Amino acid sequence: MVRVDKAELLFAAQSETGESPVWDEAGQSLWWTDIPGRKIHRLDPQSGRHESFDMPGRAGCFALRRGGGLIIAMEHGFSFFDPEAGLLEEIAEPEAGLSKHRFNDGRCDREGRFLAGSMNLTRDAASAKLWRVDRDRTVAEVMDDSTIANGLAFDISGRTMYWVDGGRRQIFRFDYSEEGAATNRRVFQDDGTAPGRPDGGAVDAEGCYWSGRWMGGCVARFTPDGRLDRLIEVPASRVTMCAFGGADYRTLFITTAHEGMSAEERAAEPHAGDIFAIELDVAGLPEPLFEG
């Protein structure tokens, strides 16, 4: 039997497309990006203090750095960002000149390297790729043949990688080496048992994969064998991604979007674009920091 629970409104963010939630353990705060809104946000859930930082482009995803600040995948390249000083330092632009592309989903692996995938905005070809920024700041291609790179997550050991191709609407699983290579691609989940289609993902301490469901109004939890065993319902259809956090990592934070909705749809879903949360009986894993 599939267990069903409901998330509650945490913060009225009204992000056009809220994405890439990341829990900051040191600061006990939640970060996320509004991609088309060109802002990165930070929220202290306890005090309610909220800050936003303007970006010069569409920041698809980011990770916290060991030395402070963020590493961001924005538009066609990677940058470091110091939010306190407001400084942005470009690292590399591996997809320069690809006007139909922008960076989308990503996170750090267990070795502290940052991975981010791009998307083809026109969806007319599987031309998007997954890139890796190593600790020495060099950039390498990890994967190609995708339309919308999404759902990146790593299991507890770090040797299994999950990745979604939004064009195919499938969740894939790969062997992931200590050196950062992804091999042995196989389908993990595509049986349609969960509503909507897979977007961003996360892995919990029991090794289960949590999938944000775009147009599904929920987050779905899949066991390591690909079986749906839990749904977290959200009062917004465009669920984008989830992240574990809080003092004990038992809070699931959920981002949503209202991008592309009509006035009538917005009226029917007034909380689309807001941040939701639920306390769980299972913990998540601390998010690795970028070590470069």
> Which residues, other chains included, contact 123 with Cβ-Cβ below 8 Å and sequence gap of 6+?
147, 148, 167
Query: In Å, what is the CA distance from 176 to each residue of 96, 114, 140?
Result: 27, 14, 15
With respect to residue 256, please indicate whether it lies within any of the assigned structural domains.
Answer: yes
Number of domains in the chain: 1
* CA 272/CA 214 separation, integer angstroms: 12
Answer whether 22's CB lies under 8 Å from 30's CB: yes
Q: Rounded to whole angstroms, how far apart are CA atoms 72 and 162?
A: 20
For 133, the token pair is 């920024």
Range of the domain at 150: 3-279
Neighbouring residues of 114: CB distance < 8 A, sequence distance ≥ 6: 63, 71, 73, 78, 106, 107, 108, 132, 133, 290, 292
CATH number at residue 142: 2.120.10.30
Q: Rounded distance, CA 36 to CA 96, Å?
A: 19
In a domain, 115, yes or no: yes
Query: Tens place of pLDDT for every residue, the chain, 292 residues?
Result: 999 999 999 999 999 999 999 999 999 999 999 999 999 999 999 999 999 999 999 999 999 999 999 999 999 999 999 999 999 999 999 999 999 999 999 999 999 999 999 999 999 989 999 999 999 999 999 999 899 999 999 999 999 999 998 888 899 999 999 999 999 999 999 989 999 999 999 999 999 999 999 999 999 999 999 999 999 999 999 999 999 999 999 999 999 999 999 999 999 999 999 999 999 999 999 999 999 9
Q: Please say whether the beta carbons of 38 and 259 come within 8 A.
A: no
* CA angle in degrees (0–180, nearest 5) for 273-119-177: 105
Which residue in 165, 199, 204, 274 is the catalytic one?
A: 199
Asked about 191 being catalytic, the answer comes back as: no
284 located within any domain? no
Rounded distance, CA 15 to CA 81, Å? Answer: 20
- Residue 100 maps to a domain: yes
For residue 227, the model assigns a pLDDT of: 97
For residues 131 and 286, give the distance between their C-alpha atoms in angstroms, rounded to a whole number: 22
> Quick check: is 288 in a domain?
no
Query: Within a domain: residue 223?
Result: yes
Is 95 domain-assigned? Answer: yes
- What is d(CA 159, CA 138) in angstroms, rounded to the nearest whole number? 21
Per residue in 61-96, pLDDT tens? 999 999 999 999 999 999 999 999 999 999 999 999
Q: Is residue 292 part of a domain?
A: no
